[in-house]
Structure 1
Amino acid sequence: MFQTSAGSPVPEGLTIVRRSDTAQGELHLTVKPVQRSSACPGCARRSSRIHSHYERRPRDLPWHGRIVRMTLRVRRFRCGTPACKVRIFAERLPGVVASRAQRSVRLADSQRAIGLAAGGEPGSRLAHRLAMPVSGDSLLRMIRSAPVPDFIAPTIVGIDDWAWRRGQRYGTIICDLERNRVCGFAS
């Protein structure tokens, strides 16, 4: 096994079991979790009794300009609590990869930031240049699912009306004078 460090190609909490290079120049890593036990989602009791394994293949951030593909060995554990309804459960890796996700949390965060800054197709082209390939439609889905910051109601408001064309078209702008930002706009 390889030791991981701050400049590691894998997220924290994982260790590299095997590393190989593909013909396309991609880096393929077989990784497994460092922790020896996992908490049951039913009763929250930790278990180290392994039932079986399965593999997930999430994508991860590029490393030195190369696309990284991971094979993640996920373990299924047996719950030892007799009253718990959950008998067998898969270990959760919330800081690494979300349930049923095809990309790591850190790759999803980077791609979402690209999508928020550049949009769909332009963001897709930028992500491909940065070795994080993603479609424009996927970027738009990630933008829509991004958490929206809580709205703070303004207490000091400024309102201004103007005419785009006198007698035909008017506009109104509402500004938050405390935070110096526009709250609304209508024309």
Structure 2
Amino acid sequence: MSNHAVNILKTELLSDNWYTLNNVTFELQKADGTWERQSREAYDRGNGATILLFNRVQKTVILTRQFRMPTYLNGNDDGLLIETCAGLLDQDHPEVAIKREAEEETGYQLTHVSKVFEAYMSPGSVTELIHFFIAEYDGSMKVSEGGGHAHEQENIEVLELPFSHALAMLADGRIRDGKTIMLLQYAQLHDLLG
């Protein structure tokens, strides 16, 4: 299906409170050549980046824990979620943005990061494309306690965990964040921590 198989007819702004929620009415050309009218809501919060920090010698990873209201509303008892460091690009290049986010959230100042892939995490309703990174860290890179910015209402706990412990948390369901699962499995598949 090419880009010419979609005709956007109308975009209606439903909310512009935190990010943007639009209702898009469009025509989609089906495989048999006929056109079908559809309407979908699309939430646009911009694109983002996430990173797994790992220490090959210590066999540890840096993760974060913070409150996520949508998970609380969907049955996550305390609303806390264990995640890889992440944030929005805010018009920056993905590599610049993830270095900024890593320092703000974890307190580690990174000089080199490696992009491993990118993915849409919820393509049925959210426009966001996430850029996935990995980077090695050690104690010399620690420049602050991290925790995010209070003015952005961030209250982030930094976790340094043995990689084996993080994998156990993945297996028993304590880690349920998609981007974190993907990066931990990437590290395991590529034997990043030996």
Q: Same fold (TM over 0.5)?
A: no
Rg comparison, structure with higher value: 1
TM-score of the two chains, using structure 2 as the length reference: 0.28
Larger relative contact order (CA 8 Å, sep ≥ 6)? 2
